[in-house]
Amino acid sequence: MRLFRSGLRVVLGLYAVCASQASEFSSVEIRMGSRATGIESKCAELLKSRLTEIGGPNVRIARETDPASDQKVIVLWLGMITSHDAMAARLNADRIKPLTDRDPGPEGFLVRSYSESEQPVLLVAGVDQRGVLYAVGEILRRAIVNPNSVSFPDSINVRTAPAFEVRGTQFGQSGVAKRVAQVRDWTDE
């Protein structure tokens, strides 16, 4: 019992430290590029749907050319650099290397937080359409959705891409799978 209480204190302490490094928002504005593709629009709808599943924050999807919202919101610039002029300008102004098929790679993405005129912004950029989807997944993994709000870490800077072109498949049975996972041999038919 004593060990349980000590463990619980450690977990609660870590939670408090992590929670203090996140900001909570009751409204989210997803700003898509003026030339957003249908896939980018579906990614924005998916993000909105997941953030509002259990109530969550108020979420508005807008184009980069639409007037800004009056209320205190976190703005998520979502899409590919080629379809989002404001995002491209921000990367250029901050001297951030452009997203390419070589860096971070195909299906890669960049998620970066910063403030613009004291308004929190998350830049959610994909190298290509799949990269946008994977960037949305990264946002959802980092978001803590509450009944009336969402929290995001104060500092996010992730630039990555999948390591392998083909993932989640296995051809044949490996010796490692047989030895470690105790996978049985294929059935003879």
At 57-91, the pLDDT tens digits run: 999 999 998 887 767 789 999 999 999 999 999 99
DSSP-derived pairing of the beta strands 58-63 and 27-32: parallel
In whole angstroms, what is the distance from residue 36 CA to residue 94 CA? 23
Which residue in 97, 162, 90 sits closest to 122, CA to CA?
90
pTM: 0.77
Tokens 């379809």 sit at which residue? 83
Which residue stretches of 97-172 are H helix? 129-142
**What residues of the chain score a pLDDT lower than 70?**
1-20, 70, 167-173, 189
Going from the C-alpha of 52 to that of each of 10, 143, 147, 165, the distances in angstroms are: 31, 12, 9, 32
